[in-house]
Structure 1
Amino acid sequence: MTISLPADDAVERNKHTMRRIYELIMDQGRTDLIAEHFAPGLVNHTAPEPLRTGTEAVAGLVSMLRTAFPDARTEIEDMTGAGDVVVMRNWYAGTHLGPFLGNAPTRRPFRFRQMHWMRFGADGRVTDHWGVRDDVSHLQQLGLIG
């Protein structure tokens, strides 16, 4: 006997929002969508300090990444959610074509793993973000560390 459970509408909405954040905002630079998807008091717990709090910080982070890696794309491998949280496992790939962390463009391609954890408010906007990235692999691929 198979039991069908009703879909959790909030979790599905939040998963859809997270996918849109990476496909449209992060990958395409659609900063016009930030206020729709992020709460004004957002805390990005793993961003560099000046880019950690609020929607303007998200815009700054997007600008920094799109300048350094204008062709970068997020390849989502898996996404799951429960309650007010969605977790995503993905690859981030592109080419270093602009300044990044004080380094001139190396024109080198990169591809490395990331995981993102987002908490959503009742209105469906992100209130908290945590990211785990393979920064060592990323910097090695760019030739910025040995």
Structure 2
Amino acid sequence: MQTQSKTTAPVERFFNEVINLHQPEVLDQLLSTDFISHDYPKPHANNSRVSLKEGMNAMIKAFPDINIKIEDMRESGNEVVTRGAWTGTQKSDYMGIAATNKKVNVHFIDIWKVEDGKLKENWVQMDTMELMQQLGKIPLS
């Protein structure tokens, strides 16, 4: 990753601390009070910080060895774009799929909007087809 700036620092903390160190409680420090996740699964009407925290807890529970590697990070103004992949072994239910004990490697790209050192908004696209194929739910071609 590149050298941290005021804009990239909270994004890097999200990946390193929340996911790689399995500390979703750090989200309380990182997210703005009016945080919005535009693309994360929406268990809550406003897709708020509560839904992101629940989603991170669910991922860490389902993939207890989850680890993210950021392959590219670019900053433009108050936005940060990241591209990377996460690996993990599915040990419990995830997205309605019972534990498979399969190790996956899933690519993603996301955009973060940062204001006053806090994560304000997020857009993420995970390769769900890749995930489903690796979990055996969609046949490989």
Q: TM over 0.5, yes or no?
A: yes
Aligned match of 1:44: 37
Aligned match of 1:6: none
> Deviations for 1:32-72, whole angstroms, at most 9, x for unmatched residues?
21121111211111111115622222210111101111101
Higher helix share: 1
Q: TM-score of the superposition, structure 1-length normalised?
A: 0.86
Structure 2 distance, partners of 1:18, 1:105, is 29
2:108 corresponds to which of 109, 114, 118: 114
**Deviation larger for 49-58 or 97-106:** 49-58
- How many residue pairs end up in the alignment? 136
Q: Secondary structure at the match of 1:100?
A: coil
Structure 2 distance, partners of 1:144, 1:85, is 35
The structure with the largest alpha-carbon Rg is 1
Structure 2 distance, partners of 1:16, 1:126, is 10
Q: Does 1:56 align with 2:50?
A: yes
1:23 corresponds to which of 16, 25, 50: 16
Structure 1 distance, partners of 2:20, 2:39, is 19
Q: Contact 2:42/2:51 (CA < 8 Å) preserved in 1?
A: no
Deviation at 1:96, TM superposition (A): 0.9
Aligned match of 1:90: 84
State how 1:99-110 maps to structure 2 within 5 Å.
99-110=93-104
Unaligned runs of 5+ in 1: 1-10
The percent identity for this pair of structures is 22
Q: Does 1:32 align with 2:25?
A: yes
Q: What amino acid sits opposite 1:128 in the alignment?
A: E
Q: What amino acid sits opposite 1:134 in the alignment?
A: D
Q: TM-score of the superposition, structure 2-length normalised?
A: 0.89
RMSD across aligned C-alpha pairs, in angstroms?
Answer: 1.7
Structure 2 distance, partners of 1:45, 1:119, is 11
Unaligned runs of 5+ in 2: none
